[in-house]
């Protein structure tokens, strides 16, 4: 498990928010697979998806490993946010989840 945590941390650390496709929230109830997150550096093992729900909550998940398991999840409710989380805020939240996992 420690090796996987290390690989996820490295993947998240390598992501440059400037390289991410700008609209990570897209239309509601549709998972958006991020582009520009460095999937190729992990040979596609990890990737991030984000979604705006019908309740206008912001959800994000990190997939990876065999069978594309959901390894990390994070969500913000509309009550917690006056605007969509930035790419950097999403990355910071995923790193925090990883540290607590």
- This prediction has a pTM of 0.87
For 20-31, the pLDDT digits (tens) are 988 899 878 899
The reported pLDDT for the residue numbered 1 is 72
Edge-to-edge, what's the strand order for the sheet holding 47-52? Answer: 32-33, 47-52, 58-64, 69-76
- Give the tens place of pLDDT for each residue, 53-74: 988 899 999 988 665 678 888 8
Could you tell me which residue, 71 or 75, shows the higher pLDDT?
75
Q: Which residue has the higher pLDDT, 2 or 20?
A: 20
Task: Using alpha carbons, select from 18, 24, 58, 23 the residue that is nearest to residue 38.
Answer: 18
Share of the chain above pLDDT 70, in %: 96
Domain extents in the chain? 2-100
């Amino acid at each position: 498990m420690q090796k996987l945590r290390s690989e996820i941390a490295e993947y998240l650390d390598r992501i440059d928010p400037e390289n991410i496709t700008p609209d990570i929230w897209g239309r509601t109830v549709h998972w958006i697979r991020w582009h520009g997150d460095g999937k190729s550096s992990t040979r596609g093992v990890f990737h991030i998806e984000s979604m705006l729900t019908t309740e206008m909550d912001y959800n994000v998940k990190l997939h990876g490993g065999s069978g594309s398991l959901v390894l990390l999840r994070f969500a913000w409710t509309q009550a917690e946010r006056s605007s969509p989380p930035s790419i950097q805020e999403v990355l910071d939240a995923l790193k925090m989840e990883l540290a607590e996992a």
